[in-house]
Structure 1
Amino acid sequence: MKIQDSKALVTGANRGIGREIVLGLLDRGVGTVYCGARKPESLAELVEEYGERVVPLQLDITDEGQVREAAQSVPELDLLINNAGVLHWGSFAEGDLEDIRQDMETNYFGTLRMVRAFLPQLEKSGDAVIVNLHSVVSFGNMAFIGGYSASKAAEHSLTQALRSELGPKGIQVLGVYPGPVDTDMAKELEMDKTPPAQVAQAILDGVEAGKAYTFPDPMAEQVGATWKENPLAVETLFAEMAEM
């Protein structure tokens, strides 16, 4: 799709990858970008700089009422980028069950909730795209983030189902599978991390090219290549990493 003059919505738009996606969209000439955040006042700087092209939305994707209100306030939409997510640390055996539940509620059900709410606008677009941000752990579970990994695997399955279901309606559904990114979410990870701006540009390149799978950083490219050749090898790789 062409980003220029389109109408886009980004969840989790106030920081990290989400904020960089918003900036990238603006640089590429987006007409309007709706910026979803739990605290819309955190978007004031963007509104001041870009004016009416940036529209803040109070949006907690786990809140059915807020999602419904947001959908009612967006009359037209061409591009939905489901970026918002959470990550809780812990294994399945020892992690807090409520943390695991929150991972699934946000990363899987939140994404599904957004797609369902904004589907009428996307169907009217004629050239709509949905982008779901996953993770390399969609392809194999890392024990120390067991709940997060499971939620991202579920979201990956959702993306596959939506691609099949919505493709005949003219809606592309794209998946993005980053490795460690230098954001607040990954601050406890002691490994090389990719700048969020670099990831955002790869995502938007993928949108314009219609790439079903985007691996936006070096680790993601490695995992993606391994997964395509031998899915079981990813499981083995992550098990070894968890022991390091």
Structure 2
Amino acid sequence: MELKDAVVLVTGANRGIGAEFVHLLKERGAAKIYAAARDVSSLKTDGVEPIALDITDRGQIEAAARVAGDVQVLINNAGISTGTSLITGDEAGIRREMDTNFYGTLLLTRAFAPILGANGGGAILNVVSALSWFSVPNGGAYAASKAAAWMLTDSTRLELAAQGTHVVGVHMGLVDTDMSKGLDAPKIHPADLAGAGLDAIESGAQEVLADDWAKFVKSGLTLDPKERYAKIFAALGGN
């Protein structure tokens, strides 16, 4: 679908990848951009419609759906990483990641699916991660939540096909944002990631492998886990 003259809602729009989605949507001529963030005072872009939205708060999601009934594109960008181990980490941290990265995306999709259907079908873009396909020590909670988000993306694509809603999953390695601060490894610029996602909406692509790391990890999914992780950890050690 064309993004020119479209009405779009972006979650986590106040910084990083979300802020770049907003910037590029303005460049591409979106008619209206709902910029959602927990703290709308942190939004730094003019010409948007701010929406206070914590995606773990069902009441705020329902309120956003009432306000933004003209949305044609939903961009599920908001997410967190706590660095929590599944075995030794705090259970509250694990639940927080699932509540944000999986359930938040799910509840927003459920709230806006009928709106998108009523407005012609439209599109949903989920910012997932290459960590939906592998894990690292002390990253189990994040990887589990993103693996769930990957299957959420596939499942909703099938369930919403009848109403003409195009669902896109975006996978990538590290992005140069606050979340990856302090990690010494190659990083994609958030504008490049956002641009690739918007290109997919306009072209009809269903999945975006936004960098070489995402392509590398997905290419090994048919391997035995021992061989697959040997290659992944060898590559990580070489960064």
Q: 100-109 or 141-150: which moved more?
A: 141-150
CA distance in 1 between counterparts of 2:190 and 2:99 reads 24
Q: What is aligned with 2:6?
A: 6
CA distance in 1 between counterparts of 2:148 and 2:2 reads 29
Identity of paired residues, percent? 41
* One-letter code aligned to 1:14: N
Deviation at 1:42, TM superposition (A): 1.3
Q: What is aligned with 2:149?
A: 155
CA distance in 2 between counterparts of 1:126 and 1:3 reads 14
CA distance in 2 between counterparts of 1:212 and 1:226 reads 20
Q: What is aligned with 1:46?
A: 45
Matched, 1:123 2:117: yes
Is the 2:121–2:163 Cα contact (8 Å) retained in structure 1? Answer: no
Is the 2:7–2:32 Cα contact (8 Å) retained in structure 1? Answer: yes
Q: What is aligned with 1:74?
A: 68
Deviation at 1:185, TM superposition (A): 0.8
TM-score, structure 1 as length reference: 0.91
Q: In structure 2, which of residues 160, 164, 168 is the aligned counterpart of residue 170 of structure 1?
A: 164
Which structure carries more helix by proportion? 1
> SS where residue 46 of structure 1 aligns?
coil
CA distance in 2 between counterparts of 1:231 and 1:161 reads 25
CA deviation vs aligned residue, 1:81-106 (integer Å, no higher than 9, x gap): 00000001132222222111111010
Count the aligned residue pairs: 237
Deviation at 1:235, TM superposition (A): 4.1
Matched, 1:133 2:127: yes
Unaligned runs of 5+ in 1: none
- Give the 3 Å change call, closer, same or farther, for CA 173–231 of structure 1 in structure 2: farther
- Give the 3 Å change call, closer, same or farther, for CA 235–193 of structure 1 in structure 2: same
Matched, 1:99 2:98: no
Deviation at 1:234, TM superposition (A): 4.4
CA deviation vs aligned residue, 1:31-84 (integer Å, no higher than 9, x gap): 0010110001111x312xxx3xx1000000001111111111012111100000
Is the 1:64–1:113 Cα contact (8 Å) retained in structure 2? Answer: yes
* One-letter code aligned to 2:29: G
* One-letter code aligned to 1:152: K
> SS where residue 9 of structure 2 aligns?
strand
CA distance in 2 between counterparts of 1:231 and 1:138 reads 17
* One-letter code aligned to 1:17: I
TM-score, structure 2 as length reference: 0.93
